[in-house]
Structure 1
């Protein structure tokens, strides 16, 4: 009973974002949005798609994630030059990145106070500020 409603919701979501609701986009949207806010890499989503028997290439997953980001359905969070996560929570917030586990965790925007930002280069304006706090597991002390 829930599946048709979710399927219909994803069709509406894609159309509202200006994207044609293809079979592959709908299948990936279902995987992305079915269980609330989350952070996912293209490789993780590709693995989930294969487990769900969705015939899709890694290149298609990358293209779809970038299309979803450009249309406002996702937010791309670049934590390193070669590592991006795609966040289903597109609202204003920041992140902890656990380097040991590769886990990205939300920090509500109200928990960080930003002040005294530099003036942007001439002819530009600040569009957004995103804070990523990198953390590592603390060494255990003998005691």
Structure 2
């Protein structure tokens, strides 16, 4: 991690109301260094260990949930056994490749959603997530 990358993550954390601790900065650097992507807690933990970042799996889990609450990332519920975290917080949808645990973005302009039910009184629709599950032909 370069000092410049750390400064960018530090500013990003501060802008979202999070105190930029060493571990948060290191995890943010790893998370956002490769552009938009989808990661599980375990995958980010493996990347952190490989990069020499001394962090526990529990800390990665807690940090990702703090990042979610701050609006830095969003949670994708595409499979009941795993939670994926998406660094792209813009409106978009997803393909999920079954058996490969791969998540791919679908631009929001490629899907039209209409006839949504009205939300209950006092509520508003915050986001609509579309997950299209794929499998290889013949599987």
**TM-score, normalising length from structure 2?**
0.95
* Partner in structure 1 of residue 71 of structure 2: 72
Which structure has the bigger radius of gyration? 1
Q: Distance in 2 between matches of 1:44 and 1:137?
A: 24
Q: Give the drift of 1:121.
A: 2.4
Q: Which contiguous aligned blocks of 4+ residues in structure 1 show a shift greater than 3 angstroms?
A: none
Q: Give the drift of 1:127.
A: 1.3
Partner secondary structure for residue 132 of structure 2: strand
Q: Distance in 2 between matches of 1:5 and 1:39?
A: 24
Q: Give the drift of 1:11.
A: 0.6
Q: Distance in 2 between matches of 1:119 and 1:35?
A: 38
Partner secondary structure for residue 36 of structure 2: coil
Q: Distance in 2 between matches of 1:138 and 1:120?
A: 38
Aligned pairs for 1:1-143 within 5 A: 3-139=2-138
Q: Give the drift of 1:122.
A: 3.1
Deviations 1:50-91 (A, max 9, x none): 111111110000000000011011011111233211111110
Contact 1:100–1:137 (CA under 8 A) maintained in structure 2: no
Q: Give the drift of 1:102.
A: 0.4
Contact 1:96–1:107 (CA under 8 A) maintained in structure 2: yes
RMSD: 1.4
**TM-score, normalising length from structure 1?**
0.92
Residue segments in structure 2 that go unaligned for 5+ positions in a row: none
Residue segments in structure 1 that go unaligned for 5+ positions in a row: none
Kindly tell me the number of residue pairs found equivalent between the two proteins: 139
